[in-house]
Chains A and B, each alone.
Chain A
């Protein structure tokens, strides 16, 4: 500093100022800000990812009857991804949206771990251990049996070993009913007499059909298996098959079909009968009032000709709001190529009306499509598990076959949640003069559609070995298994265990014979696999392996069970000759058809501006939304974060509901959900169950009120 260089206070201030300006101009403070935000955000808020070796297992998706083959990626004992198993004979490596995130159900927030009991007529709930809940159910069974009222078990996934156990448990009770509800079914029993679970199982041979007439079945939205959808889309891209959709609702299938016939709501069965009559006319005397069989012989006289005799195509078309030409065109196509007609309704709508089912099956029968290639196939069904005593319980295939006001105790297994009856239907069947009660066996809390008195917690999807059986479009019998995915033992009892415990508690004197029955289905499943091995029919297909192999090549029943638990599936395409099961039109079908014809009547005038009426709100639009009682959180991508749900301004309802609440077709109605009113356009759709309104705005089922506001357009 002695050689002339001086550093004054001013220089120091300049230096500091320069430093400050330079620092601001440099990336340093911004980088610091950025890093601080990243450091703070990573602390604790970001979840820790699971670590460990990644393994894969092959099994089946248990969430719907389609039973798609899946490949599950596991880490640290937990599943983290599900993909379709390539080469699977039914699903072909494809999966639906729900199946892709089905593994999240094992940790679902609404999982039940304790039973919930409601006092009669009240809303106060009492929580109790699961087995205590089973004992409560036992006391109710005893009460109902003593009072002589009907005890009914509703099975939403029939033909399982568990289903046969239900029937055996019920067979000891004096007045009991077993209700087998299949959401997607081919109700061939309407036109063939000897098919009741023994002679043949019917399926829609979509893979070989060149012309498909769907009466409301959501084919392009996932009716049947995903593999069938995939195959259908691929074939349509190449020019076939021709799809005609007969549906009042502007569904995605209706919009995407080659031909959309839009009948007036409630007249779908009449449209089927009109097409059937036109087919009959086209066939001339060749069809002659019988069920044409595969051999072309004219067998027994009777029913079908009489059923169609009174149908006038022009009058019926007018009543349906369709042109006679469109009916004739549909009939012409039906005769010109291998065709099949299938009944169905929108996802989550329960079962199709009986009149529609009967009319569609009669159409197939009159055109000779029963037992024909590309029509309604008849396959040999899977035998019940050996070792169970035969059951004489009354078996019903529709919930509405239960007599109104007759049921004292209703036990519902919600495995196939898309088939659940609604609150209104249940209320109609209950014998309220006595102490009628509803018990729901579920893994999840679901309370609106089923007004339960006791909610019994049971094992959920991917928590127990479950059977994969034939679906409505699988050609022939099949048998596979779905295995648990979580390494931790389920906290809830199995469905069989819970019900067996209840029946044991109800039967201290062993009068019902329940004590001698197995308390779990694992032994029944082993027995069923053993029977398949002993019979030696059919083949085993393991996805990813080259060729199917004969059952005997498994070596032993035990090895076969291991193969099935490892993702293989047993297939048997043994067909049943239609001639073997041919019969005249059952009287019940004739009655149903007669009733269906009556619905031709023009819509009755409805009252306007009715009072607010309580109905159930049901999500719809995406089949996957209804397949399970609870939705995995990732499904919010569809329900809340996309444009996929149908227009939320439209509410679909049965014409009967519309008339009751004073809302006409295309009227504006006020829908109140959780106290929040929304104006919607009401569209009548006979496919919706009475006292239910379908709105796509919400993903969860809940109660709401609806009131007509007047004409909209």
Chain B
């Protein structure tokens, strides 16, 4: 019994059997938006207001599984209409990220990398930004905790607004930093090169989860338009960053093959080849940045 208690945890997931037909149609043609478990008409639909509060049901999950396979297996249990598969998985995945320790453990891992970079890279500007990044992901973890309980919604409105303002500033700082950090990767020592590549990789892997949580908190405190605006802006910026990282990785790869990259850098990069590939193919991140009306934005 106690063993079950350790392994399993209960989470709320989407009950697709009880979705309204209007919601299903709206999801298929991009006429709705979903925030914090509520389906709203999208601007381009010509309608306004709420269509449905998404029906949820409680299930027990195995904490030891990774969230993507959990989301898939849960989604597989649902008799999901074809058109809502993407959203269904996205909502389940989002629920898992908010309700489990998944994000916390990723942030802990990132914090370890940040600490190592701060200690090893004796560059004042890098340390300054590392501090900002710690603070950004700390704020995201606070936002996640606020999202755990809907009943405190009214009480947290003021705090959440201030937290969201702080997250927005820190997010922009983080984006700027990521824009620039890769340009210094080749001028640092091989060890710092590895640290920087690992750091950028981890941040790019966690950012979609952070963007998702930020959007959900805006929606929780009834700032629906801001949620949509921030979400669309952030996912566009993230896509640009990811593309930039992809170009950089492709160039590093070619230089490593060509022998243009110094040996220790080349070995370090090639050893990370599979991990880098997994980031670009991450279904988890694609789903979290899924937008029902993304073709219209």
Indicate, yes or no, whether A interacts with B: no
